[in-house]
A and B are shown apart, each in its own frame.
Chain A
Amino acid sequence: MSTQQQQPEEPQSQEAPEDPEMRGAESPVDEKEKQGGDIDQQTTPEDELEGETVHIKVFRYDPEVEGKQEPRFDDFHVPFEKGMTVLDAVMYARDTYDSSLTFRHSCRQAVCGSDAFFVNGKQRLGCKTQIADLEQPIRIEPLPHQEVVKDLVVDMDHFYDQMHTVEPYFQDEDTPNPADLEEQRQSPENREKIKMSSRCIWCGACMSSCNIAAGDNDYLGPAAINKAYKFAMDDREGEEIKEHRLRILEQEHGVWRCQTQFSCTEVCPKDIPLTEHIQELKREAVKKNLKFW
């Protein structure tokens, strides 16, 4: 956190020029063809688009392009359609006005977890957030507390590292009995217990919202702890491996760092009760240690 930079309120905002002559008289289509990949003029005047439009302000940064090394916000006006999501809006802006606008996305149905953005001051999944529910202009920024690589793309390495720390895969110390090799059954109750925790899509919204994860880089974070919960609570894993999992979680930068601010629970696009899971693991860890006394 040595190069902390204060976020400018409106860094060199690319507002549409007031003077009508400066806007150019061409239609939006002509404008697009003329400009091509020019990144300096993405603004489309609102009155040139027919029907209802959505005003979005998108965070721009690119260390490799001279004009974008200082972060700024670009304004786009995209035509509104019923059921339009934030992801739809930025995709329209990219496809129509500025092909250099960069963001991750893939499945468009809240499964791949690629498009978590900071929308109007909250971590949300772009494809799961309705434009109609948001106040305009809609500010779309990359996830906070992660380094920005380009535009809305953040460096997820640290998040993935924390996820891998908790060994997020099924393991068993003993080779199963040959009779059980075909399938390892789970009781419906146990499945129900870990149901919510298994919904995680690794989008990183929770980690980004966590005030403690922002300050303490070693903190495992809500997503990793939830992932550990999924396996620790799974009855198909033995007691020994559960203990091993708890040992990872009960380190100084494990579950104890959670301050129950509920930020992660509130932003989780899959409605996982993250705080509840972390709290349960704290109690499990305490119980395990009390047994030794």
Chain B
Amino acid sequence: MAERYSSFAPGGTAWLLQRITAAFLVVVLAFHFFLLHFVNHAAEIEFAGTQARMENVGYFLTMVLFLVAGTFHGVNGVYNALINQGLDGTQKKVVLAVLVIASLALIAQGIYVATTMAGWT
């Protein structure tokens, strides 16, 4: 039985990461909403303003981290919801693969869009 267990416990790591990203997202999501709906009115957003924000490296990195954390937190949440419903076997592997691919695509696309906004491409 010993080889079935290792010091690396995927369940625990995912659980911990879900909480760490949660703590980060609470702050950044609130900031994001406040900045783009209250400080800057959403209807008045223009490319120039977006670019001015994205050019700031700190803001750019925060947004990228926001995207990565948000994607992990959301997709891991979806995956857990399915496990809770008893998803198992091949189905589980397929779902996991689909979710991982979708996440990576989303993150790649998001970073690409952000660099375009910053005018670095």
Contacts and interface: CB of A to CB of B under 8 A. Distances in A.
Check A-B contact in the complex, CB < 8 A. Answer: yes
Interface in A198-220: 212, 215-218
Contacts of B16: 286
Interface of A: 1, 212, 215-218, 247, 250-252, 254, 256-257, 259, 282, 285-286, 289, 292
Contacts of B30: none
Most chain-A Cβ atoms within 10 A of its Cβ — which of B12, B15, B86? B12
Given A212-B84, A216-B83, A289 B5 contact: no
The secondary-structure label for the interface of chain B is helix
B15 A251 contact: no
Nearest to B9: A250
Interface residues of B, number: 16
Interface in B75-107: 83-86, 88
20 contacts: A212-B84, A215-B84, A215-B85, A217-B86, A218-B86, A247-B9, A250-B9, A250-B12, A251-B11, A252-B10, A252-B83, A256-B11, A259-B84, A282-B15, A286-B12, A286-B16, A289-B8, A289-B9, A289-B13, A292-B8
Contacts of A216: 83-86
Interface string B12-24: 1111100000000
Interface of B: 5, 7-16, 83-86, 88
Nearest to B5: A247
Nearest to B11: A256
Nearest to A293: B7
Most chain-B Cβ atoms within 10 A of its Cβ — which of A247, A254, A256? A256
Contacts of A212: 84
B15 A256 contact: yes
Contact of A256 (B7, B8, B12): B12
Contacts of A217: 86
Contact of A285 (B9, B14, B88): B9
Given A1-B86, A215-B86, A251-B9, 7 more contacts: A251-B11, A252-B11, A257-B84, A282-B15, A289-B7, A289-B9, A292-B7
Nearest to A251: B11
B18 to A, nearest CB: 9
